[in-house]
């Protein structure tokens, strides 16, 4: 049994960059990836800003080697997962027990939407392959096949906490000596289905989102993928490069308050953070940075803020929502933000919460406004709180 799980590799693609280096550069330049819809054919063009990855499917196909008519969800996944595997550079990987635990919420819905464009016009038109195997698990299988992973694969879909739960499940597989290496995280692409659904909930902002601001109006949807390569102590000793950090704590809670809303008193958020701290053996005062779930909706930010006040009062660590850069990437956000958390430890950085102006009335703290270098970041908490009250917190720690 491995008592410690290490982060050996990172991979990410988002609206602010196609790899880890480009994402870091965008943070330092304080350049958000949110803008007008350009790739998705929708009635919301010029009305609802989103955070699109800046590559179309043809360009993603060239990078991945997959056909261009593969679901965008899988294309994004393979880009980030491949970068993470290459970054880890694990010697003799093929001889190790390796798994792929991937999360998503939309599956291949984009291919289904393409099918129905032709089908509604003529019932004899439309390519049936566009609606075959578009469930969430199919996305994982496509990418696992490309990565050559045969030992273990599974899919997690728990709304916005999906890929955080994938990471924490992967850690348990390693700790219980079922696997040596796990590529874990998640992916999601923008679709009409998702955009229309969130529009119906009336929680989209017509402007660029302002997480944790008193005058926030809602979220901006985004897309992307983020993966960590988690390894056992045994494998960590063979690495050519020092691991980024270790996954020291994790916890999932579910307050089951509402299908699409957090409990006003932040019960689920509080229990997730408290449980992760207990798992890690740390105190609230040990956390040097919180990557907030911070969607920009009235309910979510208030619930998360109240929970943080309850747990951390009176001393609050620096915190920010990186969704002010990437938008809310739904099933991918836990994975993407886990990558950002690991980078914060390795590089000693804190990310800014863009467009913040006014402190929320219900809390005595506010998020960081500027990109900070040279910080002593030993422990980072990353929050991912989903629909149905499914809340997960991860804690990453220096080695």
| Residue 114: CATH number of its domain | 3.40.47.10
Together in a domain, 200 and 305: no
125 pLDDT tier (thresholds 50, 70, 90): confident
pLDDT in tens, 284-337: 999 999 999 999 999 999 999 999 999 999 999 999 999 999 999 999 999 999
Together in a domain, 121 and 193: yes
Mean pLDDT, all residues of the chain: 95
For the purposes of burial, counting CB atoms within 10 Å of the CB of 250, is it exposed (0-12), middle (13-18) or buried (19 or more)? buried
Together in a domain, 220 and 99: yes
Say if strands 289-291 and 319-320 run parallel, antiparallel, or are unpaired.
parallel
* Residue that terminates a domain, selected from 213, 236, 259: 236
Together in a domain, 174 and 30: yes
Provide the pLDDT for residue 175: 97
Look at residue 64 and tell me if it is in a domain: yes
262 pLDDT tier (thresholds 50, 70, 90): confident
Position with higher pLDDT, 118 vs 56: 56
* Residue that terminates a domain, selected from 236, 264, 299: 236
Together in a domain, 275 and 202: no
Provide the pLDDT for residue 120: 83
Together in a domain, 177 and 311: no
Together in a domain, 229 and 253: no
Look at residue 241 and tell me if it is in a domain: no
Look at residue 97 and tell me if it is in a domain: yes
Q: Is 244 in contact with 185 (CB distance < 8 Å)?
A: no
Q: Which structural domain range is residue 117 located in?
A: 6-236
pLDDT at position 192 over 90 = yes
Provide the pLDDT for residue 28: 97
Together in a domain, 367 and 226: no
* Residue that terminates a domain, selected from 236, 266, 284: 236
pLDDT at position 3 over 80 = yes
Reported pTM: 0.96
Look at residue 150 and tell me if it is in a domain: yes
Together in a domain, 293 and 214: no
pLDDT at position 2 over 80 = no
pLDDT in tens, 41-54: 888 888 899 999 99
Task: Output the 3-class SS for 301-319.
Answer: HHHHHHHHHHHHCCCCCCE
Together in a domain, 255 and 110: no
Look at residue 1 and tell me if it is in a domain: no
pLDDT at position 352 over 80 = yes
Report the phi/psi class of residue 148: left, alpha or beta, with left for phi > 0 and alpha for psi in -120 to 50: left
Together in a domain, 140 and 116: yes
Instruction: Provide the number of structural domains found in the chain.
Output: 2
Find the mean pLDDT for residues 365-377: 98
In angstroms, the first-to-last Cα distance of the chain is 19
* Residues classed as catalytic: 160, 293, 328
pLDDT in tens, 208-235: 999 999 999 999 999 999 999 999 999 9
255 pLDDT tier (thresholds 50, 70, 90): confident
Together in a domain, 176 and 253: no
Calculate what percentage of the chain has a pLDDT beyond 70.
99
Provide the pLDDT for residue 350: 98
């Amino acid at each position: 049994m491995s008592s410690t799980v290490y982060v050996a590799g990172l991979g990410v693609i988002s609206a602010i960059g196609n790899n880890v280096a480009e994402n870091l550069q965008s943070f330092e330049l304080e350049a958000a990836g949110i803008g007008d819809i350009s790739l998705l054919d929708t009635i919301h063009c010029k009305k609802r800003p989103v955070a699109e990855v800046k590559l179309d499917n043809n360009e993603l196909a060239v990078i991945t080697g997959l056909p261009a008519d593969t679901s965008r969800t899988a294309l994004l996944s393979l880009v980030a997962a491949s970068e993470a595997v290459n970054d880890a550079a694990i010697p003799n990987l093929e001889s190790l027990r390796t798994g792929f635990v991937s999360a998503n919420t939309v599956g291949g819905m984009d291919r289904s939407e393409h099918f129905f464009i032709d089908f509604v016009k003529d019932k004899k038109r439309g390519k049936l392959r566009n609606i075959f195997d578009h469930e969430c698990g199919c996305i994982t299988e496509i990418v696992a096949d490309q990565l050559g992973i045969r030992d273990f694969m599974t899919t997690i879909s728990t709304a916005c906490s999906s890929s955080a739960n994938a990471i924490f499940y992967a850690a348990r597989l390693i700790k219980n000596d079922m696997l040596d290496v796990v590529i874990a995280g998640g992916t999601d692409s923008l679709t009409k289905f998702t955009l229309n659904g969130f529009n119906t909930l009336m929680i989209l902002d017509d402007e660029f989102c302002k997480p944790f601001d008193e005058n926030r109006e809602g979220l901006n949807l985004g897309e992307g993928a983020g993966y960590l390569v988690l390894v056992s102590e045994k494998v960590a000793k063979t690495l050519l490069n020092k691991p980024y950090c270790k996954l020291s704590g994790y916890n999932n809670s579910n307050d089951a308050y509402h299908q699409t809303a957090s409990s006003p008193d932040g019960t689920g958020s509080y229990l997730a953070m408290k449980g992760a701290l207990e798992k890690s053996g740390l105190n609230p005062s040990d956390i040097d940075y919180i990557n907030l779930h911070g969607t920009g909706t009235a309910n979510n930010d208030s619930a998360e803020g109240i929970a943080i006040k309850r747990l951390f009062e009176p001393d609050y660590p620096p915190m920010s929502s990186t969704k002010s850069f990437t938008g809310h990437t739904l099933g991918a956000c836990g994975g993407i933000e886990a990558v950002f958390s690991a980078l914060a430890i390795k590089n000693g950085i804190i990310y800014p919460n863009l467009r913040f102006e006014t402190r929320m009335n219900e809390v005595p703290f506010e998020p960081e406004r500027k990109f900070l270098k040279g910080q002593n970041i030993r422990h980072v908490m990353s929050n991912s709180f989903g629909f149905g009250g499914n809340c997960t917190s991860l804690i990453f720690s220096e080695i």
